[in-house]
């Protein structure tokens, strides 16, 4: 069995975010995710403090670690400078490195996030770009967004943007040299290997679930991970 | 003693020579706000600000949605700093609140863990041949507007006042969590005493509402909005804020975070569609402004140059209250000068 705590303790976010928790519970009191989900950030500190490998493995497999919304309200409030939100980041990374993320419904959503956000970074230099916020996937964006989305260059440029063109400005084309260096950084720092790991475990899980998976955003596995709500 | 206590809630803000990093979200949803900020700093205040076409994402949304490792994020941010160093700047000004929090996080990590800094230098050198210097200041653009709020007031044509009654308008200010909570010591007022937007509002004639859920997150939640199935979390958090502010009858909401502006605007629309509920008496919804838009409006900029037409909650009732003139015909103008028909959407 992997020594999960040993792996976690190498992560700088665990070194920084896990002090001696005194169980006051202020993190849970302030946590927006704890109001919405069966989630208790204090328990995350408790479990890590025990260094109990079985309990940590259970965390890496279940829905719990995927509930945090990363608002970091816990960071501002803990009187002992614990940061459950940073511990969550370390746990989620380890869950993906070990492939345990595919055991939970919310964990499997990492595939959809990697296909949308990470690939956007590598291809365009933006985490989010207006052209990817498709109205059919974002009905909450409303009628004004539909109008804007269908006339992006005309309207954005009227507001001073430089839509998908070279030169400075909002929504500009980010040049090839910049994209090449971004991709090289992902290669050298392990970012690409991390994404390949997510895709590899997701592909195995898709096969196990008898769902097709390919490189597109239309595959049944992508759609399931993008639209399936484990809480329903 | 009192002065010493408040010193903990102040920060140094450089007075010139800014290196501006655009926000993925701000550019996508409210591009006019970034145009407006550059106009205010460059044209109105006469300061030097660099808008570098080579800049790119800090990876913040990917990092907090857990698809980008911290080592990668640190090195991407190091590249941003390298671009800044090349241009001879020391004051990094990220438009995005998530970038602001993450940049501070990374620099703080390097202070506590020098081996992380060395690893990042090695990674950047290996990947790109680049070197970098850590900025002297990481300043959010709202800090700069706050710093010059009195100078800007002298140039303003309007105040945050109801033109008919002469009464101050009632304003909800919402500060992004990653501005106020990640590094409370790096911001004005911290999460305890949210002052940066309140300071602008009060200086310019408005009245800030202190309501119970003032510090509650808008509900972005990164993975909770990015994945369609999870968006219930996001809307529930915004709804909690709307319910809490409703009894105080706000005239408008102002935010300093690109994401918060969008969510507090769009979720009002969604709640109206789902439940028929609006949070103002007129059934319009509460207009949500960026701080750049608020500043530009008071300076007398054309509302349609600011981009108010991109808000789902119509801003016209607010413009009428303040007495800001606007040409209805220009609202739907495109770059080419043609009217872009809104019908059918």
Same domain, B212 and B325: yes
**Measured CA distances, A120 to A123, B67, B68, B130, B331 (Å):** 5, 12, 12, 23, 31
The answer to whether the Cβ–Cβ distance between A140 and B270 falls below 8 Å is yes
Contact A112/B at CB under 8 A: yes
Predicted pLDDT at B183: 84
Average pLDDT of every residue of chain B: 95
User: Which residues does chain B have within 8 Å of residue A130's beta carbon, measured at their own beta carbons?
Assistant: 27-29
Same domain, A30 and A122: no
The answer to whether the Cβ–Cβ distance between B51 and A140 falls below 8 Å is no
Q: In what order do the strands lie in the sheet with B207-208?
A: B207-208, B170-174, B252-255, B288-290
Contact A225/B at CB under 8 A: yes
Residues B55 and B22 sit within 8 Å (Cβ to Cβ): yes
Q: Which carries the bigger pLDDT value, residue B194 or residue B287? A: B287
Contact B219/A at CB under 8 A: yes
Q: How far is A52 from chain B (nearest CA, A)?
A: 24
Mean pLDDT of B113-121: 98
Same domain, A146 and A232: no
Where does a domain end: A154, A173, A192? A173
Q: What is the pLDDT along chain A (232 residues), one digit of tens a residue?
A: 899 999 999 999 999 999 989 999 999 999 999 999 999 999 999 999 999 999 999 999 999 999 999 999 999 999 999 999 999 999 999 999 999 999 999 999 999 999 999 999 999 999 999 999 999 999 999 999 999 999 999 999 999 999 999 999 999 999 999 999 999 999 999 999 999 999 999 999 999 999 999 999 999 999 999 998 755 4
Q: Is residue B259 domain-resident? A: yes
Residues B142 and B291 sit within 8 Å (Cβ to Cβ): yes
Which pLDDT band holds residue B7 (cuts at 50, 70, 90)? low
Same domain, A142 and A160: yes
Same domain, A117 and A212: yes
Q: Is residue B336 domain-resident? A: no
Reported ipTM: 0.97
Predicted pLDDT at A232: 43
| Domain containing residue B182: CATH number | 3.40.50.11810
Same domain, A13 and A114: no
H or E element in which residue B92 lies: strand B91-94
Number of domain units in chain B:
2
Predicted pLDDT at B5: 63
Sequence-distant (6+) residues with CB within 8 A of B201 are B160, B171, B173, B207, B208, B254, B294
Same domain, B189 and B42: no
Backbone angles phi, psi at B305, to 5 degrees: -75, -25
Mutation to test the A interface, candidates B26, B40, B52, B69, most A Cβ within 10 Å: B69
pTM of the model: 0.96
A79: burial class by Cβ within 10 Å (0-12, 13-18, 19+)? exposed
Integer Cα distance of A192 and A77 in angstroms: 35
Integer Cα distance of B176 and B173 in angstroms: 10
Same domain, A63 and A25: yes
Which pLDDT band holds residue B184 (cuts at 50, 70, 90)? confident
User: Which residues does chain B have within 8 Å of residue A94's beta carbon, measured at their own beta carbons?
Assistant: none
Q: Quote the domain boundaries for residue B166.
A: 149-329
Rg (CA), chain A: 20
Same domain, A11 and A65: yes
Q: Is residue B94 domain-resident? A: yes
| Domain containing residue A35: CATH number | 1.10.1060.10
Predicted pLDDT at A92: 98
Same domain, B63 and B163: no
| Domain containing residue B52: CATH number | 1.20.1050.140
Mind listing the pLDDT tens digit for each residue in B41-96?
A: 999 999 999 999 999 999 999 999 999 999 999 999 999 999 999 999 999 999 99
The answer to whether the Cβ–Cβ distance between A227 and B228 falls below 8 Å is yes
Mind listing the pLDDT tens digit for each residue in B225-274?
A: 999 999 999 999 999 999 999 999 999 999 999 999 999 999 999 999 99
Q: Given a cut of 90, is residue B189 above it in pLDDT?
A: no
Q: Given a cut of 60, is residue B1 above it in pLDDT?
A: no
Q: Quote the domain boundaries for residue A145.
A: 129-173
Same domain, B99 and B213: no
Same domain, A36 and A89: yes
- Nearest-CB residue to B233 (from A69, A142, A150): A69
Predicted pLDDT at B194: 83
Number of domain units in chain A:
3
The stretches of chain B forming alpha helices (DSSP H) are: 2-7, 24-29, 31-39, 60-64, 70-86, 97-112, 114-128, 141-147, 149-155, 177-180, 196-203, 223-226, 231-245, 258-275, 291-299, 303-306, 316-322
Same domain, B169 and B301: yes
Predicted pLDDT at B186: 80
Same domain, B34 and B109: yes
Q: How far is A54 from chain B (nearest CA, A)?
A: 23
Same domain, B120 and B165: no
In chain B, the percentage of residues whose pLDDT exceeds 70 is: 97
């Amino acid at each position: 069995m992997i020594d999960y705590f040993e792996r976690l303790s190498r992560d700088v976010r665990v070194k920084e975010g896990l002090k001696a928790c005194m169980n006051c519970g202020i993190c849970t009191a302030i946590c927006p995710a704890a109001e919405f989900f069966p989630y208790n950030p204090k328990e995350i500190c408790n479990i890590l403090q025990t260094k109990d490998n079985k309990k940590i493995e259970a965390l890496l497999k279940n829905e719990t670690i995927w509930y945090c919304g990363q608002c970091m309200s816990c960071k501002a409030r803990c009187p002992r400078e614990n940061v459950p939100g940073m511990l969550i980041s370390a746990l989620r990374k380890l869950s993906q490195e070990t492939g345990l993320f595919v055991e939970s419904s919310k964990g499997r959503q990492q595939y959809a996030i990697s296909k949308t956000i990470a690939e956007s970074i590598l291809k365009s230099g933006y985490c989010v770009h207006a052209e990817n916020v498709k109205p059919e996937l974002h009905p909450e964006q409303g009628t004004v967004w539909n109008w804007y989305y269908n006339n992006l260059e005309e309207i954005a440029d009227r507001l001073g943007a430089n839509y998908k063109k070279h030169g400075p400005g909002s929504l500009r084309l980010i040049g090839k040299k910049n994209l090449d260096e971004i991709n090289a950084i992902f290669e050298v720092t392990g970012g690409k290997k991390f994404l390949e790991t997510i895709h590899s475990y997701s592909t195995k899980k898709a096969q196990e679930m008898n769902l097709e998976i390919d490189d597109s955003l239309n595959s049944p596995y992508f759609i399931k991970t993008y639209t399936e709500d484990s809480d329903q | 003693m009192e002065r010493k206590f408040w010193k903990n809630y102040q920060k140094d803000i450089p007075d010139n020579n800014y290196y501006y990093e655009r926000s993925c979200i701000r550019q996508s949803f409210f591009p006019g706000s970034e145009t407006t900020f550059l106009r205010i700093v460059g044209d109105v205040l006469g300061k030097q600000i660099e808008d570098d076409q080579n800049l790119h994402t800090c990876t913040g949304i990917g990092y907090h949605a857990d698809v980008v490792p911290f080592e990668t994020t640190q090195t991407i941010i190091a590249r941003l700093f390298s671009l800044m160093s090349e241009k001879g700047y020391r004051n990094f000004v990220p438009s995005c609140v998530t970038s602001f929090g993450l940049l501070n996080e990374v620099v703080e990590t390097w202070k506590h863990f020098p081996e992380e800094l060395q690893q990042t230098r090695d990674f950047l050198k290996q990947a790109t041949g680049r070197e970098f210097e850590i900025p002297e200041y990481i300043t959010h653009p709202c800090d700069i507007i706050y710093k010059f709020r009195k100078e800007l007031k002298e140039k303003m044509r309007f105040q945050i006042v109801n033109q008919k009654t002469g009464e101050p308008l009632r304003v909800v200010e919402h500060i992004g969590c990653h501005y106020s909570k990640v590094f409370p010591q790096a911001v004005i007022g911290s999460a305890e005493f949210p002052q940066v937007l309140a300071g602008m509002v009060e200086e310019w004639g408005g009245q800030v509402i202190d309501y119970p859920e003032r510090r509650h997150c808008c509900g972005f939640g990164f993975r909770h909005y990015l994945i369609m199935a999870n968006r219930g979390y996001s809307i529930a958090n915004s709804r909690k804020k709307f319910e809490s502010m409703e009894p105080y009858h706000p005239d408008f909401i102002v935010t300093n975070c690109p994401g918060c502006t969008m969510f507090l605007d769009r979720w009002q629309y969604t709640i109206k569609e789902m439940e028929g509920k609006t949070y103002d008496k007129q059934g319009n919804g509460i207009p949500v402004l960026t701080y750049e838009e608020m500043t530009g409006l008071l300076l007398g900029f054309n509302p349609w140059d600011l981009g108010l037409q991109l808000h789902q909650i119509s801003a016209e009732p607010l413009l009428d209250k303040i007495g800001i003139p606007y040409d209805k015909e220009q609202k739907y103008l495109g770059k080419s000068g043609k009217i872009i028909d809104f019908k059918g959407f």
